[in-house]
Structure 1
């Protein structure tokens, strides 16, 4: 029998994970806030590095599961794979928007 998902419990878990994620990795923009300046290049580099790290972790989990590691569950592998997929897709969308913005600026007449 399939158990129904409790929306309140799901929302509570999502908020707890969001709080945990915010505590573990401070944003570079917050570090430079005191000087009033945000380095866009560093921000993008950190985002791409985080996506790369997520993909490598998912790959390592997948390999460990395929090799029969008893400490790795299929659910952990699938969750890590989906996280890396979502992070990669978000990065692609940001890249596409940046390219569109650049092309729009280049089309502007002076």
Structure 2
């Protein structure tokens, strides 16, 4: 039976801490922009419905719920990140 040996080759695509921070910051920015876009779309569709334009009520409700859920998820992620930061700050050094 053949034994498995750990690979001795080094990964060729190392990500520096700076690149990882940039990638995370970019991902976070894109996510927040997505939440903002959902809020704007919901507001626009609601205004169209109020003004009597040709928009279906169910489309307005779906856009509203998408915006609400994405904002709630964003707030929960923020809360968890703050909790993690506070926990790290409480750790003895």
Q: Return the TM-score normalized by structure 1.
A: 0.65
Q: Per the alignment, in what secondary structure is the counterpart of residue 52 of structure 2?
A: coil
Q: Which residue of 27, 50, 65 corresponds with 1:43?
A: 27
Gaps of 5+ in 1: 1-33
Kindly indicate whether residue 56 of structure 2 is the aligned counterpart of residue 64 of structure 1: no
Q: Per the alignment, in what secondary structure is the counterpart of residue 69 of structure 1?
A: coil
Q: Following the alignment from structure 1 to structure 2, what is the Cα–Cα distance between the partners of residues 82 and 35?
A: 41
Of the two structures, which has the highest relative contact order with CA contacts closer than 8 Å and spacing of 6 or more? 2
Mean CA deviation greater in 35-44 or 81-90: 35-44
In the alignment of these two chains, the number of paired residues is: 76
Q: Which residue of 74, 89, 92 corresponds with 2:57?
A: 74
Kindly indicate whether residue 84 of structure 2 is the aligned counterpart of residue 101 of structure 1: yes
Gaps of 5+ in 2: 1-12
Q: Which digits, 9 at most, give the CA deviation of each residue in 1:43-101, with x for residues without a partner?
A: 1111111000000000000000100002x100000000000000000000000000000
Q: Per the alignment, in what secondary structure is the counterpart of residue 68 of structure 1?
A: coil
- Give the match for residue 53 of structure 1: 37
Q: Which residue of 70, 77, 83 corresponds with 1:87?
A: 70
Shift of residue 35, structure 1, vs aligned partner: 6.2
- Runs of 4 or more, structure 1, over 3 Å off, are 34-38
